[in-house]
Amino acid sequence: MMKRAANVTATTTTAPLQKVPKYVLSSSSINGTTWQAANTVLPAKRELLGDAINSLPANTIIKATSRQPQAAAAASQQSAGHAIAPAPAPAVASVVRQAVILKRDMPQRTMRSITLSSIDACSMLHLGVETTHLPLFKRHVCKHASVTYLDCCITLRKLRLNESFALLAEFFELSESDVEQTFKRTLVKLSRCLRPLIRWADGKHFSERLKHMPLAYRANLMHVRSLIECVETDVSATLDFGCDSYKFILCLNTNGIISYVSDAFRGDCDDLQLFEASNFKNIIPSYLTLCAEPGKGIKQTKTAGAEEDDEEPETAAAAKPALSKYSAQRLTAQMANQQSLNVVDGALSSSRAKSLQLPTVRINEPACRAQMRHMIDALREFKMLDHCALQQTMPLGYLNEMLIVAAALCNLQSQ
């Protein structure tokens, strides 16, 4: 009875052990110095701690600090034979641990990450791909073409904005030679993958085109099914191309979808030579029999109202500005090109390619000219296909692939 009473007395008189703070407040400043502080607060409710945690900044990680086990310390003192003295009462007694450790990991922003984020934010400006089509482009085009998204960004940005390889190397943190090799390799793969987007309309369901035909064609152009134009683009005089321009055949249907784009040829050949060289007679489907040429229209008869608005010949000649030497040479070449082409019995023939005749009707309609001009302007929004955009010899070897990729992306925008 005496031992038990003594033990009870010793147990009841022992003061509660002092709690050690489990968390330490630590943060980093701008100059890299760190500081830690153990902050003790007055007793408060648990809601105050919740409000404090919610007020912490973003990217905050709460970690527990090391704590000395109190039971082990008490056991060591008893084993040493020391009597346990009553510990002084803590200054602040709280059931809530008062301090936390704050660690903010700021994400590292590199030039490549900034460039890729800007491309994702405005992909139409940088790549020529709509923002809504960008996930589809990442999942399917990059997968089937066996290229990475980074390589696609480098290639399409070069094609869209015509930036130098040195500037692209700075943006994507690569060497200039690696960027050039990536452009050539990826362009060939993308042209093979995107080539199926350029195709003729299905002949079995071709009658469904009337549902989507523009109103401008429904008046007197129901017989027109395809627009064909030989697009000529100037090249820089510093290039050893042998000619000051190149040509390619562009064909689109009345709904504004590119159906065919040929390889690039020298600009000093006439249109039928391009048709003969590209074997266009066997490529065009059998159900297409008429071709509208917007740039070569027949002169229309004047109406009574139009005669009143016409100017005098002297006034019209005086209003025209004087042509430069370069413009005069181009105009002479274009007139010589048109003189080699004739339409006889509804067939387009050329004095340079006598073995080829193309069934043709010449139409001078604003709807045809406007639609063809809109499509040519859409292609030349890819700056590498604009006038005098090629400043190096290397891109001339990949001109056919650039035309295919640009035309396929224009069709993708129209979907």
Residue 364: predicted pLDDT? 62
Q: Domain extents for the chain?
A: 111-196, 200-298+340-414
Question: From CA 16, how far away is CA 120, in angstroms rounded?
Answer: 61
Residue 62: predicted pLDDT? 67
Per-residue pLDDT tens, the chain, 415 aa: give them. 455 544 444 444 555 555 555 544 454 444 444 444 444 444 555 667 677 777 776 666 666 555 555 555 555 555 555 545 555 555 544 444 545 555 556 567 899 999 999 999 999 999 999 999 999 889 899 999 999 999 999 999 999 999 999 999 999 999 999 999 999 999 999 999 999 999 887 766 666 666 777 788 877 777 777 888 899 999 988 887 788 899 999 999 888 899 999 999 988 888 888 888 888 878 888 777 655 554 443 333 444 444 444 343 333 334 445 556 556 656 666 655 555 666 666 566 666 666 666 666 555 678 888 889 999 999 999 999 999 998 888 999 999 999 999 999 999 988 7
Residue 261 to residues 201, 250, 281, Cα–Cα distance (Å): 14, 5, 14
Assigned architecture for domain 200-298+340-414: 2-Layer Sandwich (3.30)
Three-class HEC string of the chain: CHHHHHHHHHHHHCCCCCCCCCCCEEEECCCCCEEEECCCCCCCCHHHHHHHHHCCCCCEEEECCCCCCHHHHHHHHHHCCCCCCCCCCCCCCCCCCCCCEEEECCCCCCHHHHHHHHHHHCHHHHCCCCHHHHHHHHHHHHHHHCCCHHHHHHHHHHHHHCCCHHHHHHHHCCCHHHHHHHHHHHHHHHHHHHHHHCCCCCCCCHHHHHHHCCHHHHCCCCCCCEEEEEEEEECCCCCCCCCCEEEEEEEEECCCCEEEECCCEECCCCHHHHHHHCCHHHHCCCCCCCCECCCCCCCCCCCHHHHHHCCCHHHHHHHCCCCCHHHHHHHHHHHHHHHCEEEECCEEEECCCCCCEEECECCCCHHHHHHHHHHHHHHHCCHHHCCCCCCCCHHHHHHHHHHHHHHHHHHHHHC
Residue 216: predicted pLDDT? 80
Helix axes 399-414 and 366-380, enclosed angle (nearest 10): 120
